[in-house]
Structure 1
Amino acid sequence: MLLTVDHVTRYIYDQPVRAVVQSHRLTPSVFEGQRTLRWEVTVSDGMRGGTFKDGAGDWIEGWSVQGPVSEITVRVQGEVETRDLAGVLKGHREVISPEAYLRKTIATEVDTELAKLAVGLATDENPLSAAHELSSRIAEAIEYTAGSTTSSTTAAEAMALGRGVCQDHAHALIAVARHIGMPARYVSGYLLADNEGKKHEAAHAWAEIYISSLGWVGFDPSNSCCPDDRYIRLGSGFDAQDAAPIRGTTRGPGEESLAVIVSVQTQQ
C-alpha cells in the first residue's frame, strides 16, 4: 500500500522563549514491511543538528531554534510503501538485547488487577498465541474512549478506570507481558484512517512483544489486530515518553501550548 503523511505540530508560547532544542524520532523504520519513497522533516526557523541511529535501530535527529521565538512549527511530509507482514518486524537491524525490554518504568508498573490478566496464559507452550490472547484481554478490560486519559496516565490507572486510548492499551500490554517474562516495548507511528468505524487516530501507538521463534511482533489492542500495511512504524522505547516522536527543552519563562494535525492517506 502507498501511504502519504502530512503531520504538523505547532508549539505556541505565551511569551517569547530564548531557545528550543528538540530530538526527533520522526523517520520511518527500515525493515521489510515498509520502504520510504519520500520523507522530509522541517522546523520553522530551525537548524538541523546531529543525526544518528540508536541501538534500537531508530533514526534520531536533533534540531535547535534560536529565539526570541513565540511559535515553532514542525512539519513531516512523506510517502511510504508498506506491506502486511502480520505484525512481524522482519529485517530490522538493532543491537539492543530483547531482555533489556523487561525493565519496568513508572508508566508500565503492574498492579494486582493488571496481573490478573495474565492468569492461565500458556507462555511456555505457545508464546505467540499467549501474546494474542493477552492483547485481546487488554482490549476487553480497557475500553477505547478518546480523551478519557492524559499523557501521564499509567497502565494501572487506565486499568482501574476501565477506559483509555492507544497509549494506555500499549502500556498495559507491555506491563503484563514484562510481568510474565516476555520482553515488550512501546512503538510510535501512523495509522491510515478508514471508513470501517475503527477507533483510532492517524498518530498512533502500539506494542511489540519478543517471540523467540519470530523476533519482535506488533500487537495493537486498540484495533484488535497486528500492525499491517495500514501502519507506518517510526520508533520504539520502554514506554510512551521514551518513544516520543518529538522530545525537547525550552529556555525561557513562556508557557507552551500544542496543536497537532495528522493526515494519513492512501493512493490505492
Structure 2
Amino acid sequence: MRCEIRHITEYHYSQPAWDSFNQVRLHPTQEARQSVRSFHLHVVPEAQVSSHKDYFGALVHQVHVHAHHTHLRIEAQAMVDTHALPDPGPVLVAALEGARSSLTEFLVPCPRVPSGPWPEVFGVTRPTPRDDLGQYLQNLNSFLYSQFQYDTEATSVNTPLAEFAQSGRGVCQDFTHAMLGVTRQLGIPSRYVSGYLYSGGEMRGAEATHAWVECFIPGYGWLGLDPTNNCVAREKHIKIAHGREYSDVSPVRGTYYGGGQGSMSVAVYVYRQD
C-alpha cells in the first residue's frame, strides 16, 4: 500500500523567541515491511538542518532557528510503500531462553515502564513454556484491548502507567506502555514503536502519531501488535522509530530562548495513494 503523509507542528509565541533547537524524529524507517519513496522537511522561518541516526537506528533531524521569531512551522512530507509480511509460524515460549541475553535493553525497566507486577495488575494469564508465543501475544493483544477504554481526554503525555492501570482509560501511548509492562515482566523482549496509521475511518489513533508494540519472536524477528485497535501491525501501520518507551521516540521536542507564553498545535494527515 502506498501512503502520503503530512505532519505539521506549529509553535506560536507571545514574544520573540530565538536560538530554537528542535530534535525532529519524523522520517519513516526503511525496512522489510516498508520502503520510503521520498521525504522532505520544510521549516519556516529559515533554519539550519542537520541529521544523524539515533542509538536505535532512527533518522533524526536537528533544526536550529537562530533568528528572532514568533512563529515556527515544521512540516514533514513523506511517501511510503508498505508491504505485507507473513505471520510467524509456531514458536514455543521456551525458545526465548536463548534470545534474552542479547535483547536486555527491551526487558529492563525504564522511567515510563517501571518494574511492577503488571501481569497481575492487568489480570493477564502467564504463558507456559509449551505455549505458542505468537498466538499467546495475539491473545494478549486482544485481552488488553478489551480491558481499556480509548479516551483522548483521560491522560496526558506524562501520565504514569500506574495511574492508567487504575483508570483503564487513555490513548495509544498508554495502551502501548501497558503491554510493554506486561510482556517485559513475562520475559518477552518488547519495544515501543511510533508511527502513523492509515485508518480509513475505522481505527483509533489516526488523528496524530500512533503507537504500538513490537515483540521479539525467535526465528522470525519483531512482530508488531496494536492493542489500541486489537490487530497485528500490517500495511496500514507506517513506522517512524522504535525505542524502550515514548521518550525515546517523541516526534518533535526542543528548547528556545525568550518566547514568553507559547502554544503548540499538531496536525497529521495520512492519505492512501492507489
- Residue pairs, 1:95-174, within 5 angstroms: 97-112=102-117, 114-117=119-122, 119-122=124-127, 124-125=129-130, 126-174=132-180
The separation in 2 between residues aligned to 1:159 and 1:182, in whole angstroms, is 20
Letter of the structure 2 residue corresponding to residue 120 of structure 1? T
Match of 2:196 in 1: 190
Match of 1:215 in 2: 221
Q: 1:38 to 1:265 in 2, by over 3 A?
A: same
Deviation at 1:12, TM superposition (A): 1.4
The separation in 2 between residues aligned to 1:109 and 1:147, in whole angstroms, is 23
8 Å contact 1:170–1:221 — kept in the other structure? yes
Match of 2:7 in 1: 7
Deviation at 1:109, TM superposition (A): 2.1
Say if 2:17 is the partner of 1:17. yes
8 Å contact 2:141–2:230 — kept in the other structure? yes
Instruction: Pick one of 191, 200, 214 that aligns with 2:205.
Output: 200
The separation in 2 between residues aligned to 1:192 and 1:80, in whole angstroms, is 12
8 Å contact 1:87–1:219 — kept in the other structure? no
Q: 1:138 to 1:119 in 2, by over 3 A?
A: closer
Match of 2:241 in 1: 235
The separation in 1 between residues aligned to 2:86 and 2:171, in whole angstroms, is 22
The separation in 2 between residues aligned to 1:234 and 1:186, in whole angstroms, is 11
The separation in 2 between residues aligned to 1:171 and 1:200, in whole angstroms, is 15
Match of 1:71 in 2: 71
8 Å contact 1:3–1:79 — kept in the other structure? yes
- Pick which of 44-53 and 127-136 moved more: 44-53
Deviation at 1:98, TM superposition (A): 2.4
Match of 1:50 in 2: 50
The separation in 2 between residues aligned to 1:205 and 1:260, in whole angstroms, is 16
Q: 1:209 to 1:22 in 2, by over 3 A?
A: same
Deviation at 1:110, TM superposition (A): 4.7
- Pick which of 161-170 and 12-21 moved more: 12-21
Deviation at 1:111, TM superposition (A): 4.2
Deviation string 1:150-195 (CA, Å, 9 cap, x unpaired) is: 1111222112111111010011011111111112111111111314
The separation in 2 between residues aligned to 1:121 and 1:112, in whole angstroms, is 12
8 Å contact 2:118–2:185 — kept in the other structure? no
Deviation at 1:113, TM superposition (A): 5.7
Deviation string 1:220-255 (CA, Å, 9 cap, x unpaired) is: 011111111111100012111211121212222523
Say if 2:269 is the partner of 1:263. yes
Alignment RMSD = 2.1
The separation in 2 between residues aligned to 1:111 and 1:140, in whole angstroms, is 21
The separation in 1 between residues aligned to 2:20 and 2:248, in whole angstroms, is 19
Q: 1:245 to 1:255 in 2, by over 3 A?
A: same
- Residue pairs, 1:76-87, within 5 angstroms: 76-85=76-85
Q: 1:55 to 1:149 in 2, by over 3 A?
A: same
Deviation at 1:114, TM superposition (A): 4.9
Deviation at 1:205, TM superposition (A): 0.9
Match of 2:94 in 1: none
The separation in 2 between residues aligned to 1:167 and 1:175, in whole angstroms, is 12
Q: 1:113 to 1:205 in 2, by over 3 A?
A: closer
8 Å contact 2:58–2:240 — kept in the other structure? yes
Percent identical across equivalent pairs?
A: 30
Q: 1:87 to 1:190 in 2, by over 3 A?
A: farther
